[in-house]
Amino acid sequence: MAGGERVALAHDYATQRGGAERVALVMAQAFPDAPLYTTLYHPRGTFPEFGPLDVRTSPLDRVGLLRRHHRLALPLLAPAVRATPIEADVVLASSTGWAHGFPTSGRKVVYCHAPARWLYQTDRYLGPAGGAQRWLAARALGLLAPGLRRWDRRAAGTADRYLANSTVTARAIRETYGIEAEILPPPPAMLPAGEETAPDGVEPGFLLCVARLLPYKNVDVVVEAVRRMPGTRLVVVGDGPERASLAQRVRDLPRVRLVGRVDDARLRWLYRHCAALVAASYEDYGLSPLEAAAFGRPSVVLRDGGYLDTVRDGVTGELFDAPDPDLVAEAAGRALDRTWDPRVLTAHADEFAAGRFVARLHAIAREELAHAAGTRPRLETVPTERRPR
């Protein structure tokens, strides 16, 4: 294609440190010559590995406030995506709600982490009712959601192929868009090989929770579970809107440490020296248990969603039935009382190795490039709904 790329990558926004961003980086490693298109890029807010990449941003990226606080950009992201056409034979889009809408002159493959939670799981995404901030967010989404749902479904319809990260995501894609998606689980990105640095004041033997601090992650439930477990310590890695309320909650609980964002060397140390990972969140893919397993550590997780694909009850971890502190404490107690075989855990993580993921992406790209070679290039556009008044 004259003036275009063979393969290009797309991602919603590179402004935070989460599982979707780690998968986008694996995709970038798989296609090192491909540019990465995104709406917003905040180098200090996301993983440093984005730095060497050819990151190409939307016009919205000129607004510094939005780079630092991408949630404020929600009414503007659909127009920003529409204003960022990608000239390429094949686009691989890593999407949780926006990147699948980038217009392209070639074939489009969407790797879906989940259909947009704020559109289809609004109550779960916002958390329990109460408080002015939650009310304002719910009000804003109530005004914007109808138009964004229409845009979102049309954007999904511009894809030539859909990939899902888990069984539950494939089911959500089918129910939301009427599209059958191939399940391609991503690999654990945080692996034992690499530098390790002990965080100040943390001794081995703690429970570990790695999560962005959002309502649906239910980190407060994990904290309250530890409150019911005398002598048990908890380290929480992550940042987000719930940080202040969690800090208030643990003021009288010195056994809980909120360490915020940490670099990879400290995260490796935390995985290696924890007693178990604990997660009570509603996840479409359970990435952190695979990372814990790679270090030979078990997980205590909610019996829901993507965790059902990545944790084997009684083999690589303990499951609990609801995000309830008593149930979490009971399951964590079982995990701490057991002796786990690290070889079983690391072998489980190896089943999700990066080589398998990358090989399948390469095969899909070859298939789509072959198809693109036999079709006339076009530039698809996804109309943007006007913001309701």
Q: Tell me: the pLDDT tens digits for 144-191?
A: 788 899 999 999 999 999 999 999 999 999 999 999 999 999 998 889
Name the residue with higher pLDDT: 55 or 120.
55
Which of 3.30.70.20, 3.50.50.60, 3.90.226.10, 3.40.50.2000 would CATH assign to domain 5-187+353-373?
3.40.50.2000
Is the model's pLDDT at 378 over the cut of 60?
no
Pairing mode of beta strands 55-57, 207-210? unpaired
Find the mean pLDDT for residues 206-226.
Answer: 95
Q: Tell me: the pLDDT tens digits for 80-118?
A: 999 999 999 999 999 999 999 999 989 999 999 999 887
Q: 66-72: list long-range contacts, CB under 8 Å, 24+ apart.
A: 66/40, 67/15, 67/40, 67/41, 67/42, 68/15, 68/42, 70/13, 70/15, 70/16, 70/39, 70/40, 70/42
User: Quick one: fold of 207-350?
Assistant: Rossmann fold (3.40.50)
Domain limits, the chain: 5-187+353-373, 207-350
- Give the span between the Cα atoms of 126 and 133, in whole angstroms: 10
Is the model's pLDDT at 376 over the cut of 60?
no
Whether the domain at 5-187+353-373 and the domain at 207-350 fall into the same CATH topology: yes
For position 146, what pLDDT does the model report?
87
For position 318, what pLDDT does the model report?
98
Q: Tell me: the pLDDT tens digits for 328-357?
A: 999 999 999 999 999 999 999 999 999 999
Is the model's pLDDT at 374 over the cut of 80?
no
Name the residue with higher pLDDT: 21 or 137.
21
